[in-house]
Amino acid sequence: MPAETHMQGGPLGRDEILKLVTDRLAEILEVDPTSINESDSFREDLDADSLALIELIEAIEEELSDRSIDFRIDDEDLEDLKSVRDAVDYVNLRLG
Query: Does residue 64 carry a pLDDT above 60?
Result: yes
Mean pLDDT of 8-15: 77
In the residue annotation, 70 being an active-site residue is answered as no
pLDDT digits (tens, 9 = 90+) for 15-55: 999 999 999 999 999 999 999 999 999 999 999 999 999 99
52-79: string of b/e by CB count within 10 Å (b at 16+)? bbebbbebbeebbeebbeebebeeeeee
Residue 56: predicted pLDDT: 96
Domains of the chain: residue spans and CATH = 10-95 (1.10.1200.10)
Q: Which of 32, 40, 49, 89 is catalytic?
A: 49
Task: For residue 66, name the pLDDT band (cuts at 50, 70, 90).
Answer: confident
pTM value? 0.85
Instruction: Report, in angstroms and rounded to the nearest whole number, the Rg of the chain calculated over CA atoms.
Output: 13
Report which of residues 4 and 43 the model is more confident about: 43
